[in-house]
């Protein structure tokens, strides 16, 4: 009779993607909390992982002053928890920006914008001293580009920008029915093997009509908290 083998239960092997998101969100809270005081304002990203972060952060709302939001959806969620939301223009000091990503490479260059909030995300990230990216393990890739690269575009420039993106080797697709918080449209660029993300970010941003693109490479994340079945791993740029 064969020996009884208990089912394989590697730590976290049964963790769902949602549980991994919650784990990295909690890890980000644990990382920033000791560094916050009652004057601190936290920059907060957009998306399902950022939502987990907001919910975890809200349990400590007395430990900091408030937040800057990277989207209307994030502002609403923060306010729903009773966290004061400040306009970025009124804030001079932002120690941390915490946000998810659609892809990250090992250098912490990111693709963002799956939730169409890329421009405000990039602005808040630019102001913050430390950008902490939180993501489940599926987001770490050897080369960026399997996830279509979002580009925010002024509506009247849509066709012009699309033609220029084709010249750069991509296949842009109009994201139907989506307007950004800034009133612009999104082109998702498929089939890009992004081996030089800084150069491509610059090239795309130079196209007239582009507001910005979802490559965060000129200003990558400083820290990536990655949720894996072995626990949360920390990667540094």
User: Could you give the CA distance from residue 225 to residue 133 in angstroms, rounded to a whole number?
Assistant: 6
Task: Give the separation between CA 195 and CA 94, rounded to whole angstroms.
Answer: 31
**In this complex, which beta carbon is closest to ligand 5RP, that of residue 36 or of residue 149?**
149
The DSSP secondary-structure symbol of 88 reads G
Check binding of 99 to ligand 5RP (CB under 6 A): yes
Does residue 43 touch ligand 5RP according to CB under 6 A? no
Active site residue 121: yes
- Could you tell me the smallest distance in angstroms from the CB atom of residue 180 to ligand 5RP? 9
Sole window of 22-30, 40-48, 152-160, 226-234 interacting with ligand 5RP (rule: CB under 6 A): 40-48
Taking the complex as a whole, how short is the minimal distance between the CB of residue 46 and ligand 5RP, in angstroms? 4
Q: Nearest distance from residue 101's CB to ligand 5RP, in Å? A: 5
Q: Is 122 helix (H, G, I), strand (E, B) or coil?
A: helix
Catalytic option among 103, 121, 152, 201: 121
Of 57, 101, 124, 185, the residue at the interface with ligand 5RP (CB under 6 A) is 101
Residue in 46, 119, 184, 213 binding ligand 5RP, rule: CB under 6 A: 46
DSSP 32-65: HGGG--TT-EEEE--SHHHHHHHHHHGGGGGGS-
Q: Does 109 bind ligand 5RP (CB under 6 A)?
A: no
> Does residue number 45 form part of the binding site for ligand 5RP (CB under 6 A)?
yes
Q: Which helix (H) or strand (E) holds 204?
A: helix 197-205
Strands of the chain (E only): list them.
41-44, 66-69, 85-86, 96-99, 103-104, 110-111, 130-136, 149-153, 171-174, 185-190, 210-213, 215-216, 223-228, 231-236
CA distance 189 to 102: 14
> Is residue 105 within the footprint of ligand 5RP (CB under 6 A)?
no
Active-site annotation, residues:
121
Binding residues for ligand 5RP (CB under 6 A): 45-49, 99-102, 112-118, 121
């Amino acid at each position: 009779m064969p020996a009884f083998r208990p089912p394989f239960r590697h730590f976290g092997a049964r963790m769902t993607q949602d549980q991994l998101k919650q784990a990295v969100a909690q890890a980000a809270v644990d990382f920033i909390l000791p560094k916050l005081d009652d004057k601190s304002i936290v920059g907060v990203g957009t998306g399902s992982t950022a939502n987990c972060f907001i919910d975890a952060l809200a349990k400590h709302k007395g430990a900091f002053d408030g937040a800057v939001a990277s989207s209307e959806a994030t502002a609403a969620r923060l306010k729903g928890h009773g966290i004061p939301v400040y306009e970025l223009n009124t804030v001079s000091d932002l120690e941390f920006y915490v946000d998810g990503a659609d892809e990250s490479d090992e250098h912490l260059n990111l693709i963002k914008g799956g939730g169409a909030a890329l421009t405000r995300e990039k602005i808040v990230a630019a102001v913050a001293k430390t950008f902490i990216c939180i993501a489940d393990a599926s987001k770490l890739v050897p080369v960026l580009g399997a996830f279509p690269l979002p580009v925010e575009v002024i509506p009247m420039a849509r066709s012009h920008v699309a033609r220029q993106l084709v010249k750069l080797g991509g296949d842009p697709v109009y994201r139907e029915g989506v307007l950004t918080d800034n009133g612009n449209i999104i082109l998702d660029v498929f089939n890009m093997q992004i081996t030089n993300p800084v150069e491509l970010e610059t090239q795309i941003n130079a196209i007239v009509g582009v507001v910005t693109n979802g490559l965060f490479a000129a200003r990558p994340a400083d820290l990536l908290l990655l949720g894996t079945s072995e626990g949360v791993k920390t990667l540094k740029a």
